[in-house]
Amino acid sequence: MTTTDESAPAPQAVVAQTNTLVAKLWNYCNVLRDNGLSTIEYVDQLSYLLFLKMADEIVNDPFSDEDLTEIVPAGYDWSSLVSKKGQDLELHYRAILEKLGTRPGTTLGTIFAKAQNRITEPALLEKLVVDLIGKQDWTIVGTDLKGDAYEGLLAKGAEDTKTGAGQYFTPRPLIDAIVDAVRPQPEDTITDPACGTGGFLIAAHAHIRKHHMRDLTHEQRLALGSGKIWGNELVPGTARLAAMNMLLHGIGKSEGDSLVEVGDALAKKPGSRHASLVLANPPFGKKSSITVVGSDGKSEREDSSYDRDDFRATTTNKQLNFLQHIMSLTAIDGRAAVVLPDNVLFEGGAGEKIRRRLLDEFDLHTILRLPTGIFYAGGVKANVLFFDKKTPRADGKPHTEKLWVYDFRTGKHFTLKKRPLTRADLDDFIEAYGPDRPRSERVESEDPNGRFKVFTYEELVARDKVNLDITWMKDPALDDTDSLLAPEVIAQEIVQDLQAALSEFAAIAESLGGEIPADAEVE
């Protein structure tokens, strides 16, 4: 869309408008839930209708700078839908979903793959089409109402952890901080091998548009949204949400090649396609059911098979394998920022082997220790690893000379509702990280109990099993009786610690061949 500063509403007005629309969308979700739809099913159905309405607006927008005559085939578009009512509307909606799902390999095919109408009450469908989607202009010049409202709905859906929505949702403030740290550039090729609903890819795209759009040619702008950014997602329904979310934010073309590949990212080597920037939050939880055959000739067997001779260490630990995959996926002189659970930093065996390789062959320059209470999966203790891929040194010396660790966990207490993480909470980390200055100019915290501390390569490899789960800070609440935490906060932290412990025990039991009851699993 063509936008101008003069036409853009004030940011606070956009936020208010977005929040109002999200609240309205969510109220309809409650109505449909009473009709038997889960949160995920509702978001699915809404995404189909939003796409059809958006496509209609874009094609008929006189201010659009894109030469589009058709996104959705005539007769299966929004205008054909709103021309019908009652039972005819419901039948035609089913026909649209079936027709548009027959274009495999395209963004359109990814969005509508195996789509089914779950809104079986024609009156409810008509109300949704006519009163909600149809009355709203989703392509307002100067705003990103369309994308922000959709993203807000996904965030609401992520709160409904019983439906599994939270499994693929990374808090937007954390995504924004990571993107602000790595500073995506127009020349970057950017990927996320476990993209969920596409949050990292959308934020990277938005960062480039915000900081570099005026300097790009028309051809460079088109290239930015048509192949330089892509993702992979295992779950087809989630991949469809990612394709829809990315398309709403101007990434990809409906009839072009899908920028979201559906399948197991670990199943094959990257081949010739590498990325100069990898951003990811791989799934936490149980070990995958796989057989891994590594370059060491060893194998660990479960149900399915991975033949990954680029994996130097053999393990069925899903997070360790994702880290190895990202190490292969990153281009020479490329960089990566990956959210990983604590066990990746301290697990022995394959874990130690992978950490040594990361220190020797890559420049692991920063670790951000994250607090609990920011993810929808309870008890998650995670970190963000920032590293660069380098060509091997002729002298055999390690690429990692110094590792900077920022402890954003000790003394930090967040909850999803009463004390949610905000982007401002990470301002101090970004200042310490210093995206605009050389890492040689970084400075440790003056206070020995401060949050930012540096460790040399020699100190790291001297640690038992090259354990990178490094702690040094003391929680001020433990030393100061005047700052003791409220009982409800203490209780919450105990629950989170127990949930984290349960996750570890569940993984151990599974690796020993035990069965974990469904109601005892911690995702």
In this prediction, residue 18 carries a pLDDT of 64
Note the pLDDT tens digit of each residue in 481-514: 444 556 666 676 666 666 655 655 555 455 455 5
The whole-angstrom separation of Cα 67 and Cα 51 is 18
Note the pLDDT tens digit of each residue in 197-241: 899 999 999 999 999 988 888 777 777 767 799 999 998 888 888
In this prediction, residue 301 carries a pLDDT of 47
483 in any annotated domain: yes
The whole-angstrom separation of Cα 161 and Cα 247 is 26
Residues of the chain with pLDDT below 50 are 1-9, 141-143, 286-293, 299-303, 481-483, 508, 511, 516, 518-523
- 106: DSSP letter: B
81 in any annotated domain: no
Alpha helices, H only, 395-475:
427-433, 457-461
> 459 CB contacts (<8 Å, ≥6 apart)?
none
Alpha helices, H only, 60-144:
78-82, 86-100, 107-112, 122-127
Cβ atoms 377, 500 nearer than 8 A? no
Strand, helix or coil at 411? Answer: coil
> 109 CB contacts (<8 Å, ≥6 apart)?
100, 101, 102, 103, 258
Number of compact structural domains in the chain? 1
515 in any annotated domain: yes
Determine the structural domain holding residue 513 and report its residue range. 477-520
Cβ atoms 487, 326 nearer than 8 A? no
- 485: DSSP letter: P
pTM: 0.81
514 in any annotated domain: yes
